[in-house]
Amino acid sequence: MKVEKLTEMNSESNLKDNAEQKLDLSVFVYSLTVVLLIVLLITLFPSKANSLVGAIYDFITDKVGVLYTIIYIITLVFSFWLAFSRYGKVVLGSSKEEFSDFDWAIMLICTGLAGSLMVFGIIEPLNFLMDPPFGIEKMSDGAFEYAHMCGQYYWGVSYWALCVPVAVFIGYFLYVREEKTARVGQILANRGILNSAGALIVDVLGVIATLGGVSTSMIFSTPLLSSILCRFTGINDREKVTVFVLMLWLILFVFSVWRGLDKGIKFLSRINVFVFSLFLLFLVIIINPITVIKWETNSLGLYIQNFIRMSFYTDPLGNDGFPERWSVFYYAYDMAYVLIIGVFIGRISRGKSLRKMVLGTIGYGTIGALCGFSILSCFSLEVQRKGVVDLVTFLQNEGNEAAVIGALESLPFTGIVLLVYAALSLIFMATTTDSTAFTLSLMTSKNWNCDDRTGRKNRIVWAVVIIVLTLSFLQLKGAQTMRTISMIAAFPMIFIQAIVMLTLAKDLRDNHNAE
């Protein structure tokens, strides 16, 4: 096949040609221009930017927030239809899989969960404890039970299913239909769905959504890492420590880029999974294995029992705001990650069937999320329930970082625990930044097959952009601001996701009906 021949090209002349053809200046320049304008406006007018963000948040939640719920439901149905229909047998190109199931699974888990898991896994159950669904009384026994389950719902099947259409779309058109680009807009233009201007708009919006998603994750992780380092070093200048943390991420990223996809992202992912597993095992021993099993067994029951209700929950009569505060935010947050994860998974899935790709994305991703959230949430809820530390008060009065550090300091070997936790967060986000920059290099290139050796400079540029954008967003304080950034960045993805599903379904029907 053409794609396989391209993969095997090793001559210097071919590599040089690929490097020259690689960068798509239109997408690259327009995307960078928009990002630089955002950074400039936030830097020059932070108070006005905060006010604007608040107004946009109110508009999205009140007027169009339900669209995020609708696209999630449609995507969920589409993903399972794709897996169990006759099209599930379609194999992506070569019969030999490029990556083993283990390496494929850990790369998608580390890319998708990011450093946010280290923060959300501890603080989200506390938020749900104070703001439970279905009119449950806050801080009650029922609130504790749902607090343990809700994080698993929002990071489980619902999250990973949203990533499936783009992942399959990219994998299918690269390896089956032999497209030369991993740009969603350009592929749609090549199929006659969009003209060149429409393709450019879709690709630029995709880059902006991707940057918004990963920057939101880094906004949650960076202050926590800075706080931990401030405690160890005694330095009170948080801004300098924050810059230092971001530079550490950049160093790890450059190391990974130079090692390449196989030895870079895969290497970091293996380290991440190994250390994270040891950390979770340590927490299980401290909490008590039986207690963890009881919590998770109960939560799985609530998960299964309430999956449909949570998916469709809009509370039209009660108007307590839970769907807007949580479902809309999480579906928007997930949609901002659709291209990061989708393009990345599509690129690394050569040789897999569509069925294996869909079920693996949802299955492996959900298992990874549930393992992390089950134990981290059990830990924070047990600390709160037993009165070891009043984490809710820390969260309300001092913010996310104080609550997480307060929980960790309740553990034995506090110094070692804080260092391991910081290292895990650092590696998680380094893996995500690397995967994101890798994805962005594909989304701004004309030829997807020159990503590893000739795309290093492109990827480093995007890593620097992510760090600059994160520093800019950190000037906008408050959880609502972070939620709004995700919602704004993800809004165009609602429509891009719909077009992707329609195009993919049509092409499969036209070309694989006999299979």
Query: Which helix H or strand E contains 194, and what residues bound it?
Result: none
Cβ neighbours, 10 Å, residue 136: 18
Look up tokens 């030999």; give the residue: 96
Task: Give pLDDT, residue 65.
Answer: 83
Class of domain 23-511: mainly alpha
161 closest CA partner among 73, 227, 223, 54: 73
- When pLDDT is cut at 50, 70 and 90, the band that residue 351 belongs to is very high
pLDDT of residue 12: 37
Residue count of the chain, please give it: 515
For residues 121-149, average pLDDT: 94
Least confident of 66-75, 134-143, 235-244, 501-510: 235-244
pLDDT band for position 379 (50/70/90)? very high
CA distance 356 to 363: 10
Band (70; pLDDT cuts 50, 70, 90) = very high
Helix or strand or coil: residue 249?
helix
Calculate the CA dihedral of residues 334, 339, 345, 348 and round it to 10 degrees: -160
**How does DSSP assign 299-321, residue by residue?**
HHHHHHHHHHHHHH---TTT--S
Q: Mean pLDDT: which of 247-256, 405-414, 452-461, 486-495 is highest?
A: 405-414
Helical H segments across 184-195, by residue range: 184-190
Closest CA to 173 of 509, 515, 503, 510: 503
Per-residue pLDDT tens for 212-235? Answer: 777 777 877 788 888 888 887 777
Helix pair angle (354-385, 66-84), 10° resolution: 130
Q: Which H, E and C letters describe 374-408, residue by residue? A: HHHHHHHHHHHHCCCCCHHHHHHHHCHHHHHHHHH
Note whether 361 and 108 are within 8 A (CB).
Answer: yes
For residue 445, the cross-strand partners are 23
Which is higher by pLDDT, 373 or 468?
373
Vertex 508: Cα angle to 504 and 514 (nearest 5): 170
**Tokens of residue 308, six digits:** 């449909």
Please name the residue that has the structure tokens 């309300």: 396
User: How far is CA 57 from each of CA 481, 484, 485, rounded to the nearest angstrom?
Assistant: 8, 5, 9
Tens-digit pLDDT profile for residues 275-323: 888 999 999 999 999 999 999 999 999 999 999 999 999 888 767 788 8
Our CA dihedral for 434, 436, 42, 47, rounded to 10 degrees, sits at -100
Mean pLDDT of 313-341: 84
pLDDT, tens only, 155-175: 999 999 999 999 999 999 999
- Where residue 488 falls (left for φ over 0; alpha for ψ -120 to 50; beta otherwise) is alpha
Closest CA to 319 of 185, 135, 125, 58: 135
Please tell me the predicted confidence (pLDDT) of residue 18. Answer: 42
Going from N- to C-terminal start, the domains of the chain cover 23-511
Q: Which residues contact 70 (CB under 8 A, 6 or more apart)?
A: none
What is d(CA 56, CA 481) in angstroms, rounded to the nearest whole number?
Answer: 10
Quote helix, strand, coil % in the chain, to nearest 5. Answer: 80, 0, 20
List the Cα angle 135/137/139 in 5-degree steps: 140
Q: Please report how many Cα atoms fall inside a 13 Å half-sphere around the Cα of residue 113, on the Cβ side.
A: 37
- Report the alpha-carbon distance of residue 190 to residue 192 in Å, rounded: 5
Residues of the chain with pLDDT > 70, as a percent, come to 89
Residue 328: HSE in the Cβ half-sphere, 13 Å Cα cutoff: 25
CA dist 62 and 92 (Å) reads 42
